[in-house]
Amino acid sequence: MARHFHLTADGGSRGNPGPAGYGSVITENGKIIAELYDFIGVATNNVAEYSGLIAGLTAINEIDATATVDVKMDSKLVVEQMSGRWQIKHADMRVLAQSARSAHNPSLVTYSWIPRDENSHADRLANKALDQQAGGGEVVQVQQNYLTERLLSSEKATTIYLIRHGETVLTPFKKFSGDGPLNPELTDIGLAQVEKVAVAVAQFKPEVIIASPLKRTTQTAEAISRVTGLPIVFEESWIECSFGIWDGLSIDEVKERYPADYQAWISSTGFAPPQGESYDNVALRIDAALNQIAAEYPGQRVAVVTHNGTIKSAAKVVVGAPADSIFHIDVSPCSITTVSIWPSDGLRALRSLNEQAHLQP
């Protein structure tokens, strides 16, 4: 009778790209069979994550080539690509996926996504590989040189224009406006703003429009659609952070009614407002959403109409900033933030933040 294994795998890059390593944990009947980890040099997060998967499947195949395997990873990109739900359009990513399929009979392998905190064992092993191969000051120069090479290379990056929606009735008062039932529409000022940003975005010649399905982002995306002639693809992953019972309240109102919760919220991005969502969770889904765009639209120009919290989270994850940096980023209504992602290796660059020149008289 064939054996059955569970495999958790992870990988990480300190710099994306930068020094990279992977970790894999193989278990059978709840017992750890193998712990694998290795340093792979300068690479991106995507390459490191695939490397962890390939190493784990290769080891399982050597133990029992007929074994069934349940793979669990916190990389939505790898899980969705290996499950066949996301197309793999870039050649280098296809090579990695094919290596994973070749490592063990793909008909014997199933994939599922897990939150990062459920993949902590493999993550610790990946960090162990990195810690043992820390490169000191020279690593920074390698990362800088690598980014320069990508910026000057002939490969066409996927360019993502992150557009915040126009003003709503809550915007001038700095009130929490998440995904709650209020779902405000644009004001007259907001409608004027979206007409201006639509003209600015059209000059970039986008090939795709993606939008959060809330009313304010739908109205903004519709203006861009009218100018560009492009259809709108609605994606739930780009919806605003949920602020739960705080939705519609001002900061002063939240401080007065929920002082302890507010203090916890500004002290930790892992804290979620009651019935709401933490900024850490927003960062996880936006990280995956960026990867999905790069995988599905390699080398294309993509306009994403979204929200304050999601754009700030995108800026944070792209540059690898500390978690609490999200409290120190400001994104204005109908501003444009631009990100580049090179599909072959997942390298990301923040090209601009909170552009508003198109809104000036």
What are the tokens at 30?
A: 């709840």
Could you tell me which residues come within 8 angstroms of residue 213 by beta carbon, excluding any fewer than 6 positions away? 234, 235, 236, 239
The catalytic position among 165, 277, 296, 355 is: 165
What are the tokens at 307?
A: 């929200």
DSSP letters along 14-36, please? SSSSEEEEEEEEEEETTEEEEEE
d(Cα 62, Cα 60) in Å, to the nearest integer?
5
What are the tokens at 156?
A: 């066409």
The bridge status of strand 4-13 relative to strand 18-28 is: antiparallel
Q: How far is CA 127 from the centre of its chain?
A: 20
The H or E element spanning position 222 is: helix 215-228
The catalytic position among 49, 80, 167, 240 is: 240
Burial of 167 (0-12, 13-18, 19+ CB in 10 A): buried
In the residue annotation, 195 being an active-site residue is answered as no
What are the tokens at 271?
A: 């804290």
CA atoms within 13 A on the CB side of 223: 24
The H or E element spanning position 192 is: helix 188-202
The H or E element spanning position 194 is: helix 188-202
d(Cα 236, Cα 348) in Å, to the nearest integer?
22
Could you tell me which residues come within 8 angstroms of residue 241 by beta carbon, excluding any fewer than 6 positions away? 178, 179, 276, 277, 279, 282, 307, 309, 310, 313
> Can you tell me which residue has the tokens 């994104």?
331
Extended strands (E) in 114-157: none
Q: What are phi and psi of 186, to 5 degrees?
A: -75, 145
In the residue annotation, 6 being an active-site residue is answered as no
Cα-based torsion angle of the residue sequence 221, 225, 226, 228 in order, rounded to the nearest 10 degrees? 140
Kindly list the catalytic residues.
Answer: 165, 240
